[in-house]
Chain A
């Protein structure tokens, strides 16, 4: 393996933190979902690296399923958000304040 596993993890970790940052700071429902997508991708990178590290295919399988999950997430999430946008006319997460 050319790239050491540690470096892959580092990359994944940074990407993960970026995703978290996006999720936590952007006041937009779509961007939150995007941030989560980035986090998922970070996990996928880590899986790929680990799969290489351990020389097993299970990590790769994980990546495939993560992609599927991400797709589901976007479809369900966007459906919800679009629905919400139609009702409230905003993507602002702070408009979700009915329940307390």
Chain B
């Protein structure tokens, strides 16, 4: 470990990168809440500095192979030391750049999107808080520190989802998001404690250095890995803790773009990548991760197929893509997972931001209404949307194509072909639902042709708002992201080199890629696109998906496989009306009741005794005498050996 040295330029840069958003947050909270422009300026400036620093770091350390670690003692307890520090290695640097970049873009975008909101300053404060927590999370050098920022990220997510706190559904969604991720976090904490108890100091590098295998029995190791994975499940909204993410779309759209698609939810996958060598020690655990990733991906895709809310579609898609990444990682494709994480951050943020433009313009989330409203007239957002959807569907030359291929290649090498089949199915479904949305938006039915759309179409948006919709703060982030989506795929080679280094292949040998795989995948994507076109795009299409023709499936999918019903049942019936009621009543009836009974009994006894006292004189004398006699008798009893 290198101790802190003030003159260390890299170190200063790191501190600058993480701390400036915190400073911005504190300044806004303490001083500038009333002055909106200043708040936004502070926040933007901070994140810009942060982004600059991260680029600087990326450039400086592009060729440095050894991870750099800085840490200092923060809390030292008897046998436990909690260090605070930064770990700079390719994954964290890459992630840092993604996070700061998207943060910056989204904050710029928000300038327009959130303009006029009464909580404008608060919004930027929370954004800064998130930026601080996320960057610190990414750079954490120890698992405990990571956990701390993990929680803080969750907090900022809660605050941002419930940003419009007067809206019931928003606060409800925030609560749900926090509690569900909390459930995952508790599992994470348990795993952390387990590691801590056995290994001692949960520095990430040490955990990854494979010595932990020696320190922990393999059973415990698997158990710890699974528990930590619980945190990932919660944060990345994987099965079974997936339903909070669609609800989280109640937050402002830029928040969804930033937190709930590109960065925060990806933190789970990031943690997976971060601890990849550690997880890889337990094949059993990896198998389970693969399963959970697959289930999440398929489930979420099916849900996306029937959703009408544009943000919901992208939310399901996020879950599904995160599941896809986890599949890749769990199958051993370290690079594939991280690469998809990178590309996904770009195109998913783009998808949300584009949708945000539509939503901001027409004030509705319903894709059919947006389509009818004339979404296709907004040229730049539509083009960006097409680019992003193409990436999502895995069409070349967009970035998604390359990363998906990488993951599929990794899956192809996994133990069982079923995973690959599932992956391919996922590719098909993804392409289908992505283009379903696109087709609905771009090819609205002409009048009278609407079979199942909502009654009473939307009035065309006023000119002014459309003007606003294409204002610069909206457009530039879109353009930048679209270019990124276009280009990122071609940087696969350098990235792979950066992440893995030479001769450091992690588990999967990428040389033996099956030749038929890319073509199959591409074919499936195109099939999905074609199906979407056939059902929604072409003239005179029924605008009814094949799923919706089967009532059972439609119900199942649109009700999220009844997961929410289960949770509702669980919370309402078992926790609320079960244990909680039981305990509350236990307090009232059993504990307090018995105390009440004792006190009442005492009081009654007192009443009875007092009544006895008021007897006639001679009874009293009798009692006195009788007691004396009894006491004398006790003497004889005792004397005769009674005691």
Contacts and interface: CB of A to CB of B under 8 A. Distances in A.
Interface of A: 20, 23-25, 27, 32, 93-94, 96-97, 99-100
Nearest to B616: A94
Given A20-B625, A24-B625, A96 B618 contact: no
Contacts of B616: 93-94, 96-97
A96 B618 CA distance: 11
B614 A93 contact: no
A32 B625 CA distance: 14
A96 B617 contact: yes
A96 B614 CA distance: 10
| Overall SS of chain B's interface | helix
Interface of B: 614, 616-618, 621-622, 625
A32 B616 CA distance: 13
Contact of A25 (B614, B617, B618): B618
A25 B625 CA distance: 13
A99 B613 CA distance: 11
A24 B617 CA distance: 9
10 contacts: A23-B621, A24-B625, A25-B618, A32-B617, A93-B617, A93-B618, A94-B616, A96-B617, A99-B614, A100-B614
A84 to B, nearest CB: 12
Given A24-B618, A100-B614, 18 more contacts: A20-B625, A23-B618, A24-B621, A24-B622, A24-B625, A25-B618, A27-B618, A32-B617, A32-B618, A93-B616, A93-B617, A93-B618, A94-B616, A96-B616, A96-B617, A97-B614, A97-B616, A99-B614
Contacts of A23: 618, 621
A24 B620 CA distance: 9
Contacts of A93: 616-618
A96 B620 CA distance: 13
Contacts of B618: 23-25, 27, 32, 93
A88 to B, nearest CB: 14
Nearest to A100: B614
A39 to B, nearest CB: 10
Nearest to A94: B616
A24, A25, A97 pick with most chain B CB within 10 angstroms: A24
B626 to A, nearest CB: 10
A34 B622 CA distance: 16
A94 B625 CA distance: 19
Contacts of A24: 618, 621-622, 625
A99 B615 CA distance: 10
A24 B625 CA distance: 9
Contacts of B622: 24
Contacts of B621: 23-24
A61 B617 CA distance: 32
Contacts of A100: 614
B418 to A, nearest CB: 90
A32 B617 CA distance: 10
Contacts of B625: 20, 24
A54 to B, nearest CB: 23
A24 B626 CA distance: 11
